[in-house]
C-alpha cells in the first residue's frame, strides 16, 4: 500500500464534496480501464438497475486492482462515465462499500449520451499508486 497525501481543499478552492481535490503519492502507477457491469462470464449484471450495476462495477475494479497488487486505499483517481447523473447516488453507495469518506480519491463525473452497449448505465475507471 502506498502512502498517499490527500488535500481536500487547497487554498482558494471551494471544498470538495464526495471527492478529494488533490491526491499525492509515490510508487508504481496502476491504470485500470473503465469497468462495466459484466460478470466473470461476460453477462450484463443489473440491466436497468443502477445500484446493481454500480456494485458489479466496483467488484470488477476491486478484482482488477487486486491483480496489480493494489487496493482501493491506493486509488488516487476515479472517473465516472454515466448515462444519467441520477445514477451518481447508486455509485456513491457502492463506492462507500469500498472506500471510506476519509480516504476519497480525486474524481470526475461525466454524463455521456451512450456507452458501448445500451444496457450499460455506467463505466468507471481507476488510477492507483502502489508503494514500490
Tens digits of per-residue pLDDT, 12-26?
999 888 899 999 888
Determine the Cα–Cα distance for residues 108 and 60; give it in Å rounded to an integer: 19
Total-model pTM: 0.92
| pLDDT computed for residue 2 by the predictor | 63
**In the β-sheet with 122-130, what is the strand arrangement from edge to edge?**
28-35, 122-130, 75-82, 106-111
Q: Which segment of 2-11, 26-35, 122-131 scores lowest on mean pLDDT? A: 2-11
Best CA proximity match to 88, nearest among 96, 98, 99: 96
Domains observed in the chain: 20-130 (3.30.1330.40)
CA distances from 79 to 11, 33, 35, 41, 108 (A): 24, 10, 10, 25, 5
| pLDDT computed for residue 9 by the predictor | 85
Tens digits of per-residue pLDDT, 83-122?
999 999 999 999 999 999 999 999 999 999 999 999 999 9
Share of the chain above pLDDT 70, in %: 98
pLDDT-based confidence at residue 1 (cuts at 50, 70, 90)? low
Amino acid at each position: 500500500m502506498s502512502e498517499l497525501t490527500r488535500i481536500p481543499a487547497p487554498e482558494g478552492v471551494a471544498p470538495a464534496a464526495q471527492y478529494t481535490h488533490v491526491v499525492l503519492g509515490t510508487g508504481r502507477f496502476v491504470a485500470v480501464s473503465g469497468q462495466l457491469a459484466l460478470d466473470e462470464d461476460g453477462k450484463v449484471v443489473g440491466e436497468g438497475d443502477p445500484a446493481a450495476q454500480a456494485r458489479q462495477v466496483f467488484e470488477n475494479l476491486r478484482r482488477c486492482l487486486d491483480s496489480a497488487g493494489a487496493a482501493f486505499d491506493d486509488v488516487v483517481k476515479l472517473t465516472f462515465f454515466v448515462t444519467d447523473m441520477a445514477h451518481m447516488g447508486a455509485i456513491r453507495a457502492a463506492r462507500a462499500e469500498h472506500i471510506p469518506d476519509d480516504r476519497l480519491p480525486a474524481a470526475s463525473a461525466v454524463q455521456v449520451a451512450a456507452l458501448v452497449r445500451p444496457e450499460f448505465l455506467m463505466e468507471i475507471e481507476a488510477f492507483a499508486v502502489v508503494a514500490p
